[in-house]
Amino acid sequence: MKKPANSPKTLISYGKQFYDRRWMWGTSGNISVRLKDKPLSIAITASGMNKGHLQTKDLLAITDGKPVRAAKGLIPSSETLIHQALYRAMPDVSAVFHVHPMYATLISKFYGHPTEPRYLKVEWMEVLKGVNVNEDEIAEFVILPNWQDVSLIARDITEYLKSAAKPLPAVLIYNHGLTGWGATPDQARNYLEIMEYVCQYLYLKTAANQDFGRPEHRLS
C-alpha cells in the first residue's frame, strides 16, 4: 500500500500542538516528516525556532543530509541525524517527534544514567495498549544517554531497535525528554501522549506513596 504523502506544512500544526501543551519550551525540540523514500528526503524544523509560531519559511527539506530548500541563515536541527537514522531503520515511519514533556523528562532523570542505557519495567495498565503492550506483558521503557555527540544517540536508538524483542515506538533520553515515531504524524503524537501519561502516573504514584509513608521506589 502506498504511504500517504506528507507536507512540510504538517509540522506547523504539530509544532503548535506541542508548544501549547508545554512540551516544547522556548525553542526546544525538533519534529520532522518523511517526504520521499529514494533518496530519503525529510522536512524538519530549523534550529532555534519557537515551535508554537512556525511558518513555512522556518522549515527545511533535507535530502541525503543536505538542505535543498532553506531561508537565508537557517540551519537544520542539531538532532537531524537521529531523525534520519529512524527513517532509515523503519521504512514505514513517516513522522518523528522529539519533545520535552515534564514528566517524561523527570522519569528519564530519576531512572536513567548519563552514559549507559537503562530499562524501566512498567507493570501493565490499560493505557499501554496504545503503545502495543498486551495485557500479559511488562513494558520496558528504554532510557538512553544524552550524548552531546548526536551521532551517538542515533547509534543507540538504532541498536535498541535491532536488539529489543518488541521495541516501543518511543524512547526516553536521559534528562532530555521523549523521541517518538509513527506511521502517521497522528500516530506518533498519540504514542508520545501515552508515554507521557505513564510517566506522569509513575511520578505521582511514587510521590503519593512517599507522602503516605509507603515508598515503593527511590527517585534519587
How far apart CA 144 and CA 156 sit, in angstroms, is 7
pLDDT class of 66 with cuts at 50, 70, 90 = confident
Taking only the tens place, the pLDDT of each residue in 96-122 is 999 999 999 999 999 999 999 999 999
- Scanning the structure block, which residue is given the C-alpha cell 509544532? 15
- From the list 106, 168, 159, the residue with the least C-alpha distance to 139 is 168
pLDDT of residue 3 exceeding 90: no
pLDDT on residue 71: 57
How far apart CA 198 and CA 113 sit, in angstroms, is 20
Torsion angle of C-alpha atoms 169, 142, 218, 146, degrees rounded to 10: -110
pLDDT class of 220 with cuts at 50, 70, 90 = very low
Taking only Cα atoms into account, the Rg of the chain, rounded to an integer number of angstroms, comes to 17
- The SS3 call for residue 73 is coil
Mean residue pLDDT of the chain comes to 91
**Which residues sit opposite 69 in a β-bridge?**
61
pLDDT class of 91 with cuts at 50, 70, 90 = very high
pLDDT on residue 68: 65
Query: Is residue 30 within 8 Å of 50, Cβ to Cβ?
Result: no
pLDDT class of 30 with cuts at 50, 70, 90 = very high
pLDDT on residue 36: 93
What's the predicted TM-score (pTM) here? 0.90
Domains in the chain (CATH in brackets) are: 10-211 (3.40.225.10)
Environment class of 170 (CB within 10 Å of its CB; exposed 0-12, middle 13-18, buried 19+): buried
Q: What percent of the chain has pLDDT over 90?
A: 79
pLDDT of residue 202 exceeding 90: yes
Query: Is residue 45 within 8 Å of 31, Cβ to Cβ?
Result: yes
- Top pLDDT among 77 and 41 is at 41
What grid cell was written down for 19? 508548544
Residues 6+ apart with CB under 8 A from 180: 96, 97, 99, 169, 170, 171, 188, 191, 192, 195
Query: Is residue 101 within 8 Å of 18, Cβ to Cβ?
Result: no
pLDDT on residue 208: 83
pLDDT of residue 217 exceeding 50: no
